[in-house]
Homo-oligomer: A and B are copies of this chain.
């Protein structure tokens, strides 16, 4: 499917991400509808001009109007939705999602989906530490990566459509990874970092430390404000990969700790030099 002007988009789940998709697509001139649990989110989105229509009830009449459906739901709710309502979706529609873990979601949805519909997974690596459609903001995509995770069940047209979506949403880069590679990468770059931030933040009742805090502690704990329901689900969906990344980090942390304990200054300096060199790649981008 080509993304041409009369394509209609349906957002299922109108939170921060769903709302930001809606804002971006509506501003580009597309017709955008929404299905979400709370009527007040729909009222807000219509009032702000983020969507053209919306409903809290899933009906065939409404769902079948749309060509591209974007699921911005928690993984489990998303899979249940597909099981229950996929009969309402029009033949030839393209479905995508925004879930932060891909393998368990992508393969499961593709397994249960009827053949007339195509699902292609995607992960918009963008966010904010606030929730809800009231915080929708399409500019969060500007400096972010959009990762498409095709499988052998996907068609070249489906992949192209999903990549094009990432492009028109305004992401800085659009790339492709297998669901497995995606989950390995995200286990390290995102889930491990959230586990570190959370652990650091829970070390101390830290109110008294606020006055002395420099940027280092603030930077390392920015992501420690975390939606516990969503992240618990994401961590467990990617459990094996995350545990292996956590164990790798623990090993490295203990190496440095032990070098400090025995005052092995050569080892300490070597570790810090490696760290400095590797961090420099990230400055160049």
Contacts and interface: CB of A to CB of B under 8 A. Distances in A.
Contacts of A273: 228
A62 interface: no
Contacts of A194: 216
A275 B224 contact: yes
A25 to B, nearest CB: 22
B173 A188 contact: no
A267 to B, nearest CB: 10
A152 interface: no
Contact of A201 (B203, B268, B275): B275
Given A239-B260, A242-B260, A212 B228 contact: no
Contacts of A280: 225
A70 B179 CA distance: 56
A199 B218 CA distance: 18
A220 interface: yes
Contact of A221 (B173, B209, B271, B279): B279
Given A144-B214, A189-B213, A269-B232, A203 B260 contact: no
A216 B198 contact: no
Contact of A210 (B192, B216, B250, B281): B281
A243 interface: yes
A197 B185 contact: no
Contacts of A175: 211-212
Given A193-B220, A202-B274, 5 more contacts: A188-B204, A194-B216, A226-B272, A247-B257, A250-B257
